Amino acid sequence: MTDAVVIPGGMFGPGAPLLMYAGDVAEQRGATVHRYSWSQGFPKPDQPEIEGWVGGEITPVIDTIGGRPLLIGKSLGTNAAAIAAERSLPAVWLTPLLTLPWVAAALGRATAPFLLVGGTADRVWDGDLARRLSPHVLEVEGADHGMYVPGPLTESIAVLGRVVVAVDEFLDAIGWPS
């Protein structure tokens, strides 16, 4: 059986559009998608203890599932990069917190492939670092942390379409599921 775990950001749950559609890509490939919601309020998201807190929330989910699930995380959820690195799990990281040193370090330790998706108007995105960490990067000019771009809302909706294509192409590139 193939599984994917959707790990939310801090503002919205696993049904937020970026996460919903990324999870749907995995589901269309035959995965059972586990959409996780935080059990409680979380510590300050820019302090190192957040990594352990996220690990405490997500590790039991992965242990229950077993195997090597695909992780799909947004923003706060990218603190699970340490788990992905430790367990060699493939991942899709949407608007990763690349300015947090422990997230960047965990991504640097990863041995399984991962996709990084971010925008140039997001203060926690570092495109140069992203391209050093992974050959799989979607950088959207002008996109903010929610992957919204200036202009009509339809342009931001088009970005969502680009993210779906990038996730699908990444999973093709790594042969997931195998």
Q: What domains, with CATH codes, occur in the chain?
A: 3-173 (3.40.50.1820)
- Distance, CA of 63 to CA of 51 (rounded, Å): 18
- Distance, CA of 112 to CA of 128 (rounded, Å): 20
Considering the entire predicted model, what is its pTM? 0.96
Nearest 10 degrees: CA dihedral of 143, 145, 147, 152? -70
pLDDT tens for the chain, 178 residues: list them: 699 999 999 888 888 999 999 999 999 999 999 999 988 777 777 888 889 989 999 999 999 998 999 999 999 999 999 999 999 999 999 999 999 999 999 999 999 999 999 999 999 999 999 999 999 999 999 999 999 999 999 999 999 999 999 999 999 999 999 8
- Distance, CA of 5 to CA of 23 (rounded, Å): 8
What pLDDT sits at residue 36?
Answer: 95
Amino acid at residue number 8: P
Listed in sequence order, the residues at least 6 apart from 147 whose beta carbon sits closer than 8 Å to its beta carbon are 18, 94, 95, 117, 119, 140, 156, 159, 160, 163
What pLDDT sits at residue 17?
Answer: 92
What pLDDT sits at residue 68?
Answer: 94
Looking up tokens 């330790």 gives 109
